Amino acid sequence: MTPSNAASSPTSPTPPTTPSPPSRPDPTVQPVPPAVVEQVDAADSTLQNPKRAVVALGSNQGNRLETLQGAVDALADTPGMRVKAVSPVYETEPWGVEPGSQPSYFNAVVIIKTTLPPSSLLERAHAIEEAFERVRDTRWGPRTLDVDIVDYQGAVSDDPGLTLPHPRAHERAFVLVPWHDVEPGAEVAGRGAVADLLPGLGDQGVARRADLDLVLPD
Ligand SMILES: Nc1ncnc2c1ncn2[C@@H]1O[C@H](COP(=O)(O)OP(=O)(O)OP(=O)(O)O)[C@@H](O)[C@H]1O
Ligand SMILES: Nc1nc2c(c(=O)[nH]1)N=C(CO)CN2
């Protein structure tokens, strides 16, 4: 056995500890900018206080029911999100385009509770659309899946990246009809009660598909 082996043997006495030098600030650590501290604090308070949001789903390409169910499941699988209610399924005439120019949609609305801030909820909505190979070419073009944030805890924002409530929700029966089913007392912030908005919309070709159901994940 060499002397060095002997020194590392478990039976050898513990060498005396040398006092460590006084700690100095690490020059590689930069101070956290106040804007970042503010964002982290805001995210923190959201984390302790889940918010209620309303998400509209639409599909007019591929297997529309499977796609809507996939979107509900993906929302439910998102960390920091719980799906609280899923509306009935409606078959709806394409809104905002030439009649007969696109296949009909399946639409539904989902109520969630989430600790995600609005920007992260939108990112997640886009990721779910992409998972269903949503193509963004023409405005209001046909799509496998559309996931819109209709309302986030009544917040109002005119940011074009995320406008709240959704800027066209109050004029869309394909959003308001299923929303009213799951939340009869719902309000579109700044526009009024969904129940009061609905009669003014006229017939937009929104028909309940009582033969179809979306399942609320456990
Ligand atoms: N509340 C909102 N929900 C979803 N997207 C929004 C919202 N407000 C603004 N946007 C922005 O709108 C952009 C276009 O969204 P999208 O492609 O879903 O529009 P669209 O479904 O064709 O039309 P519409 O907005 O009329 O439903 C998105 O990239 C997003 O940043
Ligand atoms: N019926 C119906 N029409 C639409 C829909 C939709 O989901 N359903 N989505 C659109 C763009 O978001 C444009 N038109």
Task: Supply the DSSP string of 62-116, one letter for each residue.
Answer: SSHHHHHHHHHHHHHTSTTEEEEEEPPPEEEPPSSS-TTSSPPEEEEEEEEEESS
d(CA 13, CA 6): 11
> 95, 102, 201: which to mutate for ligand 2, most atoms within 8 A of CB?
95
d(CA 119, CA 140): 22
Tell me, in angstroms, the distance from the centre of ligand 1 to residue 122's CA.
Answer: 9
The DSSP code for 8 is H
Question: For position 3, what pLDDT does the model report?
Answer: 36
Question: For position 45, what pLDDT does the model report?
Answer: 56
Active-site residue (options: 52, 73, 82, 134): 134
199 membership: H or E segment, kind and range: none
Question: ipTM greater than 0.95, yes or no?
Answer: yes
Structure tokens at 73: 């499941």
What is the pTM (predicted TM-score) of this model? 0.82
- Estimate to the nearest angstrom the gap between the alpha carbon of 7 and the chain centroid: 60
d(CA 127, CA 125): 5
Active-site residue (options: 64, 124, 143, 172): 143
d(CA 186, CA 134): 29
Amino acid identity of residue 94, one-letter, is P
d(CA 45, CA 50): 9
Question: For position 44, what pLDDT does the model report?
Answer: 60
Structure tokens at 110: 């989902």
> 107, 132, 166: which to mutate for ligand 2, most atoms within 8 A of CB?
107
One digit per residue, the tens of pLDDT, for the chain of length 218 reads: 333 333 344 444 444 555 555 667 777 778 888 887 777 766 665 557 899 999 999 999 999 999 999 999 999 999 999 999 999 999 999 999 998 899 999 999 999 999 999 999 999 999 999 999 766 667 787 789 999 999 999 999 999 999 999 999 999 999 999 999 999 999 999 999 999 999 999 899 999 999 999 999 88
Among 191, 128, 195, 130, residue whose Cα is nearest residue 163: 191
Residue 10 CB-density burial (10 A; 0-12 exposed, 13-18 middle, 19+ buried) = exposed
96 CA closest ligand 1 atom index: 26
Question: For position 19, what pLDDT does the model report?
Answer: 55
148 CA closest ligand 2 atom index: 12
d(CA 12, CA 99): 89
Tell me, in angstroms, the distance from the centre of ligand 1 to residue 167's CA.
Answer: 9
Domains of the chain: 35-208 (3.30.70.560)
Structure tokens at 19: 């006092």
